[in-house]
Each structure stands twice: as structure tokens, then as C-alpha cells.
Amino acid sequence: MPPISSSSSSRNGKKLGPIPEKNRDNLYKKFKIACDTFFENRRNSNKQSNNEFDENLKKKQDIIRQIHEAAKGEDLSENTLSELVSEFNETGFVPRKNIKEIQAQFKDAVDRYLEKMDPSGSGREDFLFRLNLNRIQADPNSTKTLNRKEHGIRKQITDLENSITLWRNNLEFFAASKTADKLKDQFDIKIKKAEEEIDKLKSKLSILKEF
């Protein structure tokens, strides 16, 4: 069996002998320079990221101010708000310490705009649902996600319709009891809420067809 060469020994991870003293200082200097360069580059990179996060925070704060200003006007529209919301979402990260605060300010601004645009709140849920679909559409797996969302909504509708049928059957069953009126009121409230929820879900299905 041929002897193992020093290069083979090195490749196999075996320790080489001690470094000659005359080369030790030179090697250490090279190692220190490499380490100093690495950490300096990392510090500069972190500094650059922090500056970028601070700039993103300023941009998001400016967008929030624009939403508040737009809400004071009379010509309110979903398109205007959608553009501002998209601009906010496309702006990069902010410093970690400001994440919760800026999100709360953004939500408050959007809510104020929607309240001014639709005081009754009837269109707010549909608008927010459409915004969510816009974000989903940008994802490579958007088709599967949208299909799952549609399936989930249809299942909710079916479950509510089955519940309504059950409650109406219960009303007929308890019609002759002494507590019929009280039960009728309770089931009527449940049925009404379920029917309202079905209408909302059907509205979401209509919106889904746009995508």
C-alpha cells in the first residue's frame, strides 16, 4: 500500500504539524486583516440596512399622512385608497421597534378613509377582501390559494344553509310548546344573522370571479 502523502492527509482533515515560527506572525497578520475586513463590511452592511429601514419608515409615515388628507376631501374612491395601500405595502421594512406602531397608524388611517367613504360600513368588508385578493394575486401560487379560498367560502355558505334548515325544522317541532314564542324569537335572530352572513359570503364569491 503506497504511503499517504501530506496533501492527502490535509484533505482528510488530519492536523498538519506546527507552523514554523518565522511564518507565524505573517499568517496571524493575514488572518487578523481578513477578520477585520469581514466585521467592518458587516458593520457597514448593517448601517446601510438601518438607514434604509429609517427611510422606509419616513415613506410609510408620509403615505399615512396622504391617506388622512385624502379622507378630508369629498372625492373619495376605492381606486385612490387602493393605490395608497399598495404603495404602503410595497415599501420595504421599517426598524423593528416601529413595526407595531406604524401598522396601527396605517390601520387607523385606512379605517378613517373607509368610514368617510362608506359611513354605513356596508362596503368596507368587500373592499378589504379585494385588497387581500390583490396581495394574493402577486404570489406565484395565487391560483391554488384563490381556489382554496373559494372552496372555503362555498363550504361556509353550505354550512349556514344547513343550519338555517335545521333551525326552521326546530321551529316547526316546538311550535306547540308553551315556550314557542320565545324559541321562535331566538331562532328568528339566528336565521336572520345567518342569512346576512350568506349574503356577505356570496358578495365575496362575486369579487373572487374578478380575479
Counting as low any pLDDT under 50, the low residues of the chain are 1-14, 16
Give per-residue burial for 139-154: e unless 16+ CB within 10 Å, then b. Answer: eeeeeeebeebeeebe
Note the pLDDT of residue 122. Answer: 65
Measured distance CA(107)–CA(115) in Å, rounded: 12
Neighbours of 34 (CB within 10 A): 10
pLDDT digit string (tens) for 59-105? 999 999 999 999 998 888 888 898 998 899 889 899 999 999 999 99
**What is the model's pLDDT at position 48?**
61
Question: What pLDDT sits at residue 2?
Answer: 45
The pTM for the full model equals: 0.54
Residue 18 has a pLDDT of: 60
And the C-alpha cell for 206?
Answer: 362575486
pLDDT of residue 12: 45
For residues 197 and 164, the answer to whether their CB atoms sit within 8 Å is: no
